[in-house]
Amino acid sequence: MFRSFNAGGTAPARRSLWQVIVDDHGPGRIVLWIPLVFMVAFFLIPLALTLVWSVFERTMFWMEPGFTLAAYQDFFGSGRVDSFLNSVKSAAVTVAVAFILGFPIAVFVRRSVPAHAQHQAVLLFILPFMISEVIRLFALRPVLGRNGIVNDLLMSIGLVDEPISALLFTPTSVVIGEVLSFLPFMVFCGFLAMEAVPDYVFELCDDIGSGLVVTLRRVIIPLAAPGIFAAAIFIFVNSLGLFLVPDLLGGPGAANAGTLVVNAIAALDFPLAMAIAAIMVTMMVALLLIGHWLFDLTKLLEPFR
Amino acid sequence: MNSVPAVEVDGVSKNYGSVSALKPTSFAVPEGRYFVLLGPSGGGKTTTLRMIAGLIRPTTGRVRIGGRDVTDQPANRRDTAMVFQGFALFPHMTVEQNVAYGLELRRLPKDELRDRTAAMLRLVGLTGFEARRPSALSGGQQQRVQLARALVLQTSIVLLDEPLAALDATLRKDMCFELKHIQESVGTTFIHVTHNQEEAMTVADEIALIAAGTLVESGSPREVYETPRCRFTAEFIGENAVFSGPIVEGALRIGGAAPFVRDAEPPLAISVAAENIDLHLQQPDLEQTLPGTVVDVFYLGFSALLHVEVDGGPVVPVRLLSKELDAGIKSGGRVWLSWDPDHARMHTA
């Protein structure tokens, strides 16, 4: 015979306040809305304001409502667009270098480090982030300078006769600084992206006679592509915006998109700053859409099976 | 047929630190045979297979393939192809691409590549599935793709590491028959690792029993089933009543019953296949009988399995035809066991 819980006269189990709150239909479900509220308050609204303000009229100290493309004309009609394009170029180079240096590390950790030590190994690459970015970048100056460690070393082993001055306060040094800043992201994202690559792939490729380079190109990179793409976007966007690097390592006149925005704000030209920001955001969204179309980013970080 | 064995494992062992996965082991696999390494999990059979494949290096010993020492060669230089446990396919490639990948690496002309791939897919019964992704295939189909991928390379040896372990029982049985047919039709030497004795009996020309890091014994399925030399074999393969007991005046005593084997040399055990044990409800007029009590009765359709606790001895399995149960055999009943002395097998180890 089937009896419901209450039929026997026993009192229903008393639920604690906490259980009531976290019940599927209880007030606790509001928690689920917090990320959405956060995204609206701190992402969508500022984004909308950026777009709106970028077409406002500039005044002496702020701006007033209106519609003008003056800020965009100002951007595209000046040397700023060249600086912007240069920083796009160096961001792209940074992404490429970070991928070439960082992804093999991620593959190596997945393939050759025992499973229980893999996370620790990856953690090693994140350790530099415990040090302030300013200090990390500033510390590169004595390393890369004319009399820096790198040049000293190169000269003492006789590779070069005179110090290479291109290592500091040049576009090269900006790329070096950006790569050093963002390499851990490539290692970390690459490591997570390797979740999509089943472990047996390595043995299978060994057995079938697929060399490491072919395996990377035909098997590993296609499988890990969504994660690699995520890391690439992250590094690209941050390279564009992180004005500290050109500031500290780029020398006079060095600028990336972030520097342009900061300078515009310093000059109290808020619509211009907003316009540049709007262009950057548009670019990022376009890249994400392309990435989603290519790799289906909903599969991002989804482990194999 | 060639007199040189297809694979020769010569004193091969593997240690991981101080742990021995395989003690020095030697065996040879004749060309064109379906050879099965059978044994409990963790016994060292997969380790053996991987050392033949070249995926792990032996600690000692040599591996020869077709008479050539390949111990120092990497996996891709060996004339072997592997079918892995689980569904080890490239998830981003279609069935056809998965099978053709190895041939592409060998730089085969396009049309030959296509023909060989198509022929292999036909052989494993997957024509029409070329454009599917592995995720759109059943487990059995995925294992067929793996088999096609291994066979298409036309290596002289195909290694199969628990190829059917992830399949359900019915499918496993069908795939066994199919594996056997495919091996017979291509004539390639197959070395197949499994822990499932039915699977091993179905496919094998020869079974090597590996347990606790040693090769216990080897022989045809019939030999290891009907005339196992070692006690372990009798316990692992088939259902056998295994008796061991004190040796009294050169004879084995079981419980209080009459001595069974004359002139025995210790250590000794005897085993009798469950289906060769005769069951009596009254004490028979025989010199050698063992009284006991029925503990369990399992009706299995055509046959029935009893567990009988021998007085002062072990619980042993007894197989009957199901209709014999009608004689009044039930749990808790007294019975007497006997067997034709020719059916008793002696084990010294």
Residue A9 has pLDDT above 60, yes or no: no
Chain-centroid distance, C-alpha B237: 9
Question: How many percent of chain B have pLDDT more than 90?
Answer: 71
Question: What digits encode the pLDDT tens for the residues A38-94?
Answer: 999 998 999 999 999 999 988 888 888 988 999 999 999 988 999 999 999 999 999
pLDDT at residue A299, as a whole number: 72
Name the closest residue on chain A to residue B78, using Cα atoms.
A207
Whole-angstrom distance, CA of residue A90 vs CA of residue A92:
5
For A3-66, what is the HEC assignment?
CCCCCCCCCCCCCCHHHHHHCCCCHHHHHHHHHHHHHHHHHHHHHHHHHHHCCCEECCCCEECC
Measuring CA to CA, which residue among B206, B197, B208, B190 is closest to residue B172? B197
pLDDT at residue A301, as a whole number: 62
> Are B143 and B290 in the same domain?
no
Residue B297 has pLDDT above 60, yes or no: yes
Residue from A197, A208, A210 whose CB has the most chain B CBs within 10 Å, to mutate: A208
Domain assignment present for B1: no
pLDDT confidence tier of residue B244, bands split at 50, 70 and 90: confident
Residue A7 has pLDDT above 50, yes or no: no
pLDDT confidence tier of residue B222, bands split at 50, 70 and 90: very high
CB-based contact, B151 to chain A, within 8 Å = no
pLDDT confidence tier of residue A28, bands split at 50, 70 and 90: confident
Looking at the complex, report in whole angstroms how far the Cα of residue B146 sits from the nearest Cα belonging to chain A. 10
Amino acid, res. B325: L
Name the closest residue on chain A to residue B154, using Cα atoms.
A208
The sign of the CA dihedral A49, A52, A53, A59 is negative
> Are B150 and B279 in the same domain?
no
Q: Nearest Cβ partner of A207 from B53, B86, B106?
A: B53
Name the closest residue on chain B to residue A225, using Cα atoms.
B92
Domain assignment present for B78: yes
From chain A, pick out residues whose CB is under 8 angstroms from the CB of B86. Answer: 200
A214-223: average pLDDT? 92
In degrees rounded to 5, what are phi and psi of residue B239?
-115, 115
> Are B214 and B246 in the same domain?
no
Domain assignment present for B311: yes
pLDDT at residue A85, as a whole number: 93
pLDDT confidence tier of residue A3, bands split at 50, 70 and 90: very low
From chain B, pick out residues whose CB is under 8 angstroms from the CB of A214. Answer: 105
Domain assignment present for B230: no
Looking at the complex, report in whole angstroms how far the Cα of residue B206 sits from the nearest Cα belonging to chain A. 25
A110 or A25, higher pLDDT? A110
pLDDT at residue A20, as a whole number: 79
Question: What digits encode the pLDDT tens for the residues B104-136?
Answer: 999 999 999 999 999 999 999 999 999 999 999
A184-200: average pLDDT? 89
A88-112: average pLDDT? 93
pLDDT confidence tier of residue A2, bands split at 50, 70 and 90: very low
From chain A, pick out residues whose CB is under 8 angstroms from the CB of B51. Answer: none
Domain A78-299, classified CATH 1.10.3720.10, yes or no: yes
* Domain of residue B135, residue span: 7-219
Domain assignment present for B328: yes
- What ranges do the domains of chain A cover? 17-52, 78-299
Count CB pairs under 8 A between chains A and B.
55
From chain B, pick out residues whose CB is under 8 angstroms from the CB of A204. Answer: 82, 84, 88, 90
Q: Nearest Cβ partner of A214 from B86, B91, B105?
A: B105
Q: Which of B188, B219, B250 is the last residue of a domain?
A: B219
Domain assignment present for B234: no
Q: What is the ipTM of this complex?
A: 0.81
pLDDT confidence tier of residue A10, bands split at 50, 70 and 90: low
Looking at the complex, report in whole angstroms how far the Cα of residue B131 sits from the nearest Cα belonging to chain A. 18
pLDDT at residue B261, as a whole number: 67
pLDDT at residue A5, as a whole number: 46
Pairwise CB contact (< 8 Å): B102 & A209: yes
B231-257: average pLDDT? 81
Name the closest residue on chain A to residue B89, using Cα atoms.
A201
> Are B147 and B63 in the same domain?
yes
B246 or B170, higher pLDDT? B170
Residue B103's domain is classified under what CATH number?
A: 3.40.50.300
Name the closest residue on chain A to residue B134, using Cα atoms.
A305
pLDDT at residue B178, as a whole number: 93
> Are B199 and B247 in the same domain?
no
> Are B117 and B199 in the same domain?
yes
Q: Nearest Cβ partner of B76 from A198, A208, A304?
A: A208
DSSP B21-68: EEEEEEEEE-TT-EEEEE--TTSSHHHHHHHHHTSS--SEEEEEETTE
pLDDT confidence tier of residue A6, bands split at 50, 70 and 90: very low
> Are B206 and B68 in the same domain?
yes
Measuring CA to CA, which residue among A205, A207, B55, B54 is closest to residue B65? B54
CB-based contact, B90 to chain A, within 8 Å = yes
B256-278: average pLDDT? 76
B345 or B27, higher pLDDT? B27
B266-271: average pLDDT? 76
> Are B212 and B254 in the same domain?
no
Question: What digits encode the pLDDT tens for the residues A273-288?
Answer: 999 999 999 999 999 9
Residue B299's domain is classified under what CATH number?
A: 2.40.50.140
Question: What digits encode the pLDDT tens for the residues A109-164?
Answer: 998 898 899 989 888 888 888 888 899 999 999 998 888 889 889 999 988 888 88
A222-249: average pLDDT? 90
Looking at the complex, report in whole angstroms how far the Cα of residue B170 sits from the nearest Cα belonging to chain A. 24
pLDDT at residue B270, as a whole number: 86
Pairwise CB contact (< 8 Å): B102 & A203: no
pLDDT at residue B349, as a whole number: 63
Whole-angstrom distance, CA of residue A151 vs CA of residue A141:
12
> Are B89 and B164 in the same domain?
yes
Domain count, chain B: 2
